[in-house]
Structure 1
Amino acid sequence: MRFGSERRVRRLLERADVCVGGNRPWDIEVHDGRFFGSVARSGALGAGEAYSAEWWDCPRLDQLVERVVATGAVDRFAGYLGRARAAWRRAFGNGRGTVADIHYARDPAFFRAWLGPTLNYSCGYWRSATNLDDAQRHKMSLIAAKLQLGPGDRVLDIGCGWGGLARYLGEVGCRVVGVTNTPAQAAFAQRHCAGLDVRILGCDFRDPQVRAAGPFDRVVSVGMFEHVGRRHHGEFLNLCRHVLPPGGLALLHTMGRTTPGDFDSWTDRYIFPNSYVPSMADIVEAAAGRFVVEDWHNFGADYDRTLMAWHAGFEQWAKVQSPPCDPHFYRTWRYYLLTYAGYFRTRQRAQLWQIVLAKDGVAGGYRSVRDVCPTARPEVKKV
């Protein structure tokens, strides 16, 4: 049985020009023969589990995944279980509480070590940026420009995380209500935004107090829509519509899936449980009758650079840990960051979208924004 699995996996890798025991950066070294059976049975899920267990290695995981995805080899071992898992998540997955409890509840110091001072855990905008911090600040400036924000505007930030965007908008004079269902994030975000007109609600977006906090001039959600679940897309946009005035704008910043089926079964189990990456059709269907889609901006290639920058910061964090970082934890997070970089680099499987929605449409049309001033910074209020 093992030898049959090994032959199948080797043939699969050869299609992507990947050798077992080769000396190129994307070639792999197998330390434990169980690797082959794990991949043959469970595909991407098995490959990730085997990597965390130290059954195999690769000098450049990002280049390996880039090749495997580009050739379509990543889909050849998806199997019935992978298709069934994806179908269940499309129908029922909602991410409520699960991701908050498993992923985001870690000490904020861990994330800050490699996300940087902006604490933005989402794709940066690298059009005019040369480093991670600038890319994240340009992203926040781009969001403010797309939403046509000015001093005094009331903004609902759904999925505010550690409050990086809420703080940025508060510093330019907006009045912000942020929402996160992770208690550790809510507590940190409130401290992070101290002295600004920013209020953080530690609850699910469906909690009645979110609606009660309205009305708002604008709504923004960055990196949260992936955790809503297809079943609840309509509820999410109903909330946005309810709190906005006629012509009010909402911005979704979300990863997007461009191929059918399971996005990544390993990440779904070990990194972002119960998540669902939406397709274009999912978003258009949910917006119908609720919003006019005014602008659709794809800068998925920027996620490759963002993830590689995060990985570099994560490696620096791991090097200075005393006692040393747990090997299984280290390999799991390294695998996540580098394989996602490979996914986005191919431009075939995953994208990053910023979508501007208008309640009943913008009278006379909406002006799309792509350029931001690289030197623009908010005037920071003294706190």
Structure 2
Amino acid sequence: MRKIFRNVAESYLGRMLQQADIAINGERPWDVTVCDPRFFETVFAGGSLALGESYMRGWWECQALNQFFFRLLQQGLDRSCCRKIPELFAKARALLLNRQSRRRAFQIGERHYDAGNDLFELMLDDHMTYSCGYWRNAETLDQAQEAKLDLICRKLNLQPGMRLLDIGCGWGSLVLYAARHYGVEAVGLTVSEEQAQFARKRCEGLPVDIRLQDYRDLDGTFDAIASVGMFEHVGYKNYRTFMDVAERSLRPGGLFLLHTIGSNKSVHTCDPWFDKYIFPNGMLPSIRQIGRAIESRFIMEDWQNLGVDYEKTVLSWYNNFEKNWERLGQKYGEPFYRMWRYYLLSIAGGFRARYIQVWQIVLAPQGNAAGYQSVRCPHCLD
């Protein structure tokens, strides 16, 4: 009976992958090489969670995972092969529970961002910026990330003496850059102990306050607010609360810039493999969900899609990760290597397929009476 089930699973997966021009045991970089026949029945029954876990176990290989996922997602095959029982359970939990409550707020810091500063130092750019770079006039990752930081500062119209809040400050890249180059005072919030310690050390001597704090516990007012790559951890049940906090924390005439990965459709949870191994309790917002959250709170002044820049950013991270694995391998081990490789290259494929987006949204509580000038590149307006 098991052999029959395995044959059925192999036949089904083979036909499904053919739709995306992916062959099983083919010779092209994006083809799948099956190393353990348990791959077929496991993925057939378990969907995307099983696909990722079987890769972590070494049951299948793919020379170019990013191209594999690009083809898979471009054809919409995730909807036919990856939506199994684990996803149904994830949806039920998301509907019944607030998976991003105050009690759970620090889980993402402990399980992802506290993985090790050495890992992120060797993978990211010199600014330690863990979000999409801006490649319009950039040739290197460092240049792309500095251009992105400067773009945010210009969109917020930062001026010397202003007070900036960064909700989800990471390792302090934006607050450090804004304090040095725009003369602002800054407060950065993070739920990662490792990030907080690292950012405080980097910002010594500057008017920057790094707090290990959930956004819901924030007090005080600011001339400008940014949130870069953090909204993905807020959760749809908390979007309006998040916007309430931003609105009450912003002084009259201030601007709020939200930088987030976005979903093409409204969902309530993320992929089960990513939820289990990479971003616990995470989910991507849609345009509709963001619109509902800002309604009656903010006027949307500007909305820019940077999604095409993220594939290049993630591949730069991956290349740094591979280049430095010899230094990292003894500490993190082979299972982590396979997990992290799967994470980075699947994301790269998703952005190349335009399956997911990156948005920078500029919001103002009462709007800009004189009109907002949209900034699209450093040192220019258009």
In the TM superposition, what is the alpha-carbon distance from 1:320 to its structure 2 partner? 3.2
Q: In the TM superposition, what whole-angstrom CA distance separates every residue of 1:249-286 from its partner, at most 9, and x where no partner exists?
A: 00000000003445422112110011011000110000
CA distance in 1: counterparts of 2:329 and 2:18, whole angstroms: 40
Structure 2 vs 1, CA of residues 106 and 80 (structure 1 numbering), >3 Å: closer, same or farther?
closer
CA distance in 1: counterparts of 2:89 and 2:38, whole angstroms: 25
Question: 2:378 corresponds to which residue?
Answer: 372
In the TM superposition, what is the alpha-carbon distance from 1:80 to its structure 2 partner? 4.8
Question: 2:215 corresponds to which residue?
Answer: 205
8 Å contact kept, 1:256–1:352: yes
Structure 2 vs 1, CA of residues 230 and 285 (structure 1 numbering), >3 Å: closer, same or farther?
same
Deviates more, 1:363-372 or 1:269-278: 363-372
Deviates more, 1:261-270 or 1:299-308: 261-270
Question: 1:93 corresponds to which residue?
Answer: 99
Q: In the TM superposition, what whole-angstrom CA distance separates every residue of 1:129-173 from its partner, at most 9, and x where no partner exists?
A: 111000000000000010000111100111001111111011021
CA distance in 1: counterparts of 2:372 and 2:95, whole angstroms: 32
Three-state SS of the structure 2 residue aligned to 1:247 is strand
8 Å contact kept, 2:266–2:288: no
CA distance in 2: counterparts of 1:359 and 1:336, whole angstroms: 37
CA distance in 2: counterparts of 1:176 and 1:2, whole angstroms: 58
* TM-score, normalised relative to structure 2: 0.93
CA distance in 2: counterparts of 1:198 and 1:153, whole angstroms: 12
Aligned length: 369
Question: 2:244 corresponds to which residue?
Answer: 238
CA distance in 1: counterparts of 2:133 and 2:90, whole angstroms: 30
8 Å contact kept, 1:318–1:324: no
Aligned-partner residue type, residue 183 of structure 1: E
CA distance in 2: counterparts of 1:286 and 1:86, whole angstroms: 21
Three-state SS of the structure 1 residue aligned to 2:283 is coil
In the TM superposition, what is the alpha-carbon distance from 1:325 to its structure 2 partner? 4.7
Question: 1:303 corresponds to which residue?
Answer: 310
Question: 1:79 corresponds to which residue?
Answer: 84
8 Å contact kept, 2:125–2:145: no
Q: 2:32 aligns with which of 28, 34, 46?
A: 28
1:112 correspondence with 2:121: yes
CA distance in 2: counterparts of 1:245 and 1:371, whole angstroms: 26
CA distance in 2: counterparts of 1:87 and 1:221, whole angstroms: 28
Three-state SS of the structure 1 residue aligned to 2:209 is strand
8 Å contact kept, 1:93–1:276: no
Question: 1:317 corresponds to which residue?
Answer: 324
- Please list every run of 5 or more consecutive structure 1 residues that lacks an aligned counterpart in the other structure: 375-383
Question: 1:159 corresponds to which residue?
Answer: 168
In the TM superposition, what is the alpha-carbon distance from 1:106 to its structure 2 partner? 2.2
8 Å contact kept, 1:257–1:263: no
Map residues 1-383 of structure 1 onto 2, 5 A cutoff: 1-77=5-81, 78-86=83-91, 88-89=93-94, 92-94=98-100, 96-172=105-181, 173-207=183-217, 210-211=218-219, 214-261=220-267, 263-321=270-328, 323=330, 325-347=332-354, 349-373=355-379
In the TM superposition, what is the alpha-carbon distance from 1:222 to its structure 2 partner? 0.4
Structure 2 vs 1, CA of residues 324 and 223 (structure 1 numbering), >3 Å: closer, same or farther?
closer
Structure 2 vs 1, CA of residues 361 and 373 (structure 1 numbering), >3 Å: closer, same or farther?
closer
CA distance in 2: counterparts of 1:337 and 1:322, whole angstroms: 17
8 Å contact kept, 1:318–1:325: no
Aligned-partner residue type, residue 328 of structure 1: P
8 Å contact kept, 1:90–1:229: no
Q: In the TM superposition, what whole-angstrom CA distance separates every residue of 1:7-52 from its partner, at most 9, and x where no partner exists?
A: 1111111111111111101001000111111211121111100000
Structure 2 vs 1, CA of residues 325 and 93 (structure 1 numbering), >3 Å: closer, same or farther?
closer
Structure 2 vs 1, CA of residues 318 and 90 (structure 1 numbering), >3 Å: closer, same or farther?
farther
- Please list every run of 5 or more consecutive structure 2 residues that lacks an aligned counterpart in the other structure: none
8 Å contact kept, 1:48–1:266: yes
Q: In the TM superposition, what whole-angstrom CA distance separates every residue of 1:277-298 from its partner, at most 9, and x where no partner exists?
A: 1000110000001111111100
In the TM superposition, what is the alpha-carbon distance from 1:98 to its structure 2 partner? 1.5
CA distance in 1: counterparts of 2:92 and 2:132, whole angstroms: 27
Q: Sequence identity of aligned pairs in percent?
A: 43
CA distance in 2: counterparts of 1:121 and 1:167, whole angstroms: 14
* TM-score, normalised relative to structure 1: 0.93
Over the aligned positions, Cα root-mean-square deviation in angstroms equals 1.6
8 Å contact kept, 1:125–1:136: yes
In the TM superposition, what is the alpha-carbon distance from 1:299 to its structure 2 partner? 1.0
